[in-house]
Chain A
C-alpha cells in the first residue's frame, strides 16, 4: 500500500467524449506525476504537477490537461477521446526537493475508449 488512491478504477467512454481521472497523493508528498501505460508497454510520462503548477510535460497533446489542488490531490482531464487513449493511467506522488525521485504509484484507472 503506497497511500496513493485513484478513481475510478475502470471506466468506458466513447470516442469524442471527455474524461476526468482523480488522484490523492501520499501524505506529505507535494508532487504528482501522471503516466499512461498502453497494454504491453512501459509507462509513458504525461506531466508532473508541483505546488499547483505544471512542472514538466511529456509528448502528449494539449487535450491532456491536469490540475493539482492545495491539498496536493490531482486530476487528469482528457478531451476529445480517441481509441488510442485506451490505457491504464497511473498517478504517482513524490516529495520534491529530494534527489532520489522515487515514485509511489496508485493502482491506476483503466480507461477503455470505444
Chain B
C-alpha cells in the first residue's frame, strides 16, 4: 500500500521557474525522504528530513515537514531541463524497517 500521496501528479514548468511538490502521509514517521527517478531508471536519494526537523536545504532543494498536518513539500529553485524526472516522497515509520513510497510527481522542465 502507498503511504505517501504526492500532489500534483504531473507538473510542467519553464526552465528557470521554481517547482513545488507536496506529499501527504498517514502515520507517524521517523523521517521523510525524497527520491528522484529518471525515466525507467533506479531511484536516487535527494534529501532526508527527520521528524523533529521543520526545514532542510541542499543546493537548489528545500524541503519542509509539518508533522501536525502529516505533510511535506519539496521546492526546486531555478529549475533546469535536467531536473525533468519523477519525484517520490518516502516515509520511514516510527520503529519501522521499510521505506514506503508515494505514487510520485512527474516534473517536466521545458527549455
A66 within 8 A of B: no
Taking a contact as CB atoms under 8 Å apart, the answer to whether B88 and A42 are in contact is yes
B60 to chain A, nearest CB (A): 20
- Given A33-B98, A43-B101, A56-B97, verify A104-B88 contact (CB < 8 Å): no
Taking a contact as CB atoms under 8 Å apart, the answer to whether A101 and B103 are in contact is no
- Given A42-B102, A59-B1, A108-B41, verify A100-B97 contact (CB < 8 Å): no
The residues of A that contact B92 with a CB separation of less than 8 Å are 101
A29 to chain B, nearest CB (A): 13
Q: Measured between alpha carbons, how far is A99 from B33 in the docked complex, in Å?
A: 13
* Nearest CB in chain B to that of A40: its residue: B103
Chain B: interface residue total (CB-CB under 8 A): 24
- From DSSP, what is the main secondary structure of chain A's interface residues? loop
Q: Measured between alpha carbons, how far is A35 from B100 in the docked complex, in Å?
A: 10
Taking a contact as CB atoms under 8 Å apart, the answer to whether A55 and B1 are in contact is no
Question: Of A58, A100, A104, which contacts B98 at CB under 8 A?
Answer: A58
Taking a contact as CB atoms under 8 Å apart, the answer to whether A48 and B97 are in contact is yes
Taking a contact as CB atoms under 8 Å apart, the answer to whether B100 and A45 are in contact is yes
Question: Of B43, B48, B104, which contacts A100 at CB under 8 A?
Answer: B48
Task: Tell me the residues in window 89-106 of chain A with beta carbons closer than 8 Å to chain B beta carbons.
Answer: 90, 92, 99-106
Chain B interface residues toward A at CB < 8 A: 1-2, 4, 30-31, 33, 35, 40-45, 48, 88, 92, 97-104
Chain A interface residues toward B at CB < 8 A: 2, 4, 33, 35, 40-45, 48, 55-56, 58-59, 88, 90, 92, 99-108, 110
